[in-house]
Amino acid sequence: MRGSVYYQSSQLVKQIFQEGLKKEDKINPNHEYYKMVSSYKTMESYRRVWNNFFIYLKEHWKIKDFEKIEAQHIEAYMDYKIEYYPSKQYLEKISAALGKLEIALKKFSKNIHKIEKDYDFSIRQVILDQTRDLKFVANNYHNRAYNNPELLISNLKNSMHQLAAKIQLEGGARIEGVALIKPEQLLGIKTDKVTKTQKGIIFTKEKGGKQGEVLVSLETYAELENYISLNSKFKINRQDYYNDIKQAALISKEISEGSHGLRWNFAKRRMFEYGKAGYSYSDSLQQVSYEMKHNRASITEHYLGG
């Protein structure tokens, strides 16, 4: 599909909006109007989310044809929003709008191309459920760092999950940065400018395409390098990882904060390391923000509060 963000969203609205529909028709799987929208106000609300999402895709993923949207883009956008602590209601609206977007794209491909493309945005519901469970929303703010992250990691049942968690704890990577790691992302060894120690370099692409280095201990790097040499790539299932962390937290007598809690531990430790190396507080905030693939220094303060 070609055209501006607003033109493309208008074409998708036509696929799913029909004024004055009966409720029984919209919930009937056998009816042509199944899962369609009949309220102007609701449709306008969903379209605003679509437009914001499309703008994000253009800026971060360089995607201009929104028929090319995949599950990974939905996942990245949801994570992008969660990191800035939206209200529960707003995140639920985003999830609902992206669900309708899936339906609209399927209808568009069927009506225009005569072939229904297999869009699957169900990851949005997985993320929403996790977020509700972990209370990653503005009205439930608290410090999410684990008291003993090393113990938590040792209590993970899956060794691959243990390795992913160590990468997140040591390097501050997001879940999308550890869910899939390929051989070309291993860039060898370098001296950490802050601690003056040798670290392994993993090059990751996270949060809408933001790229950069994740520095981990030599032990963790060697473990990852060895795994990839035997298995061609490192890949974990997000839901299985989440469930393992939840169980490990119970065993460790911790409140489960998901894998994101490990980034809180990273931020606190890294701020201390920058301070010990003689960096000012404001410079430390900015540098840690960059390492966590943010831009604003104020985001790091978010991880230090609570």
| 306 pLDDT tier (thresholds 50, 70, 90) | very low
Please give the structure tokens belonging to residue 164. Answer: 């992913």
Taking alpha carbons only, the member of 302, 300, 305 closest to residue 270 is 300
pLDDT at 19 over 90: no
Q: What percentage of the chain has pLDDT greater than the value 70?
A: 85
The DSSP call for residue 67 is G
pLDDT at 27 over 70: no
Domains of the chain (ranges; CATH) run 5-140 (no CATH), 149-304 (1.10.443.10)
| 86 pLDDT tier (thresholds 50, 70, 90) | low
- Quick check: helix, strand or coil at residue 189? strand
Q: What pTM value is reported for the model?
A: 0.62
3-state helix, strand, coil in the chain (%, to 5): 60, 10, 30
Sign of CA dihedral 267, 76, 294, 292: positive
Sign of CA dihedral 55, 61, 63, 64: positive
Which comes out higher in pLDDT, residue 191 or 128? Answer: 191
Instruction: Share the mean pLDDT of the chain.
Output: 84
- Across 7-11, 57-61, 140-144, 236-240, the highest mean pLDDT is recorded for 7-11
Bin 253: left if φ > 0, else alpha if -120 < ψ < 50, else beta.
Answer: left
The predicted-structure confidence for 28-70, as pLDDT tens digits, reads as follows: 566 666 778 878 888 999 999 999 999 888 877 788 999 999 8
pLDDT for res 230? 96
**pLDDT, average across residues 254-260:** 82
pLDDT for res 242? 82
User: Do 61 and 208 meet the contact criterion of CB atoms below 8 Å apart?
Assistant: yes
H/E/C letters for each residue in 129-163? HHHHHHCCCHHHCCCCCCCCHHHHHHCCCCHHHHH
pLDDT for res 54? 92
What is the total residue count of the chain? 306
Q: What is the edge-to-edge ordering of all strands in the sheet holding 186-191?
A: 186-191, 198-206, 210-216
Contacts of 74 (CB under 8 A, 6+ apart): 98, 121, 123, 124
The predicted-structure confidence for 140-152, as pLDDT tens digits, reads as follows: 444 678 999 999 9
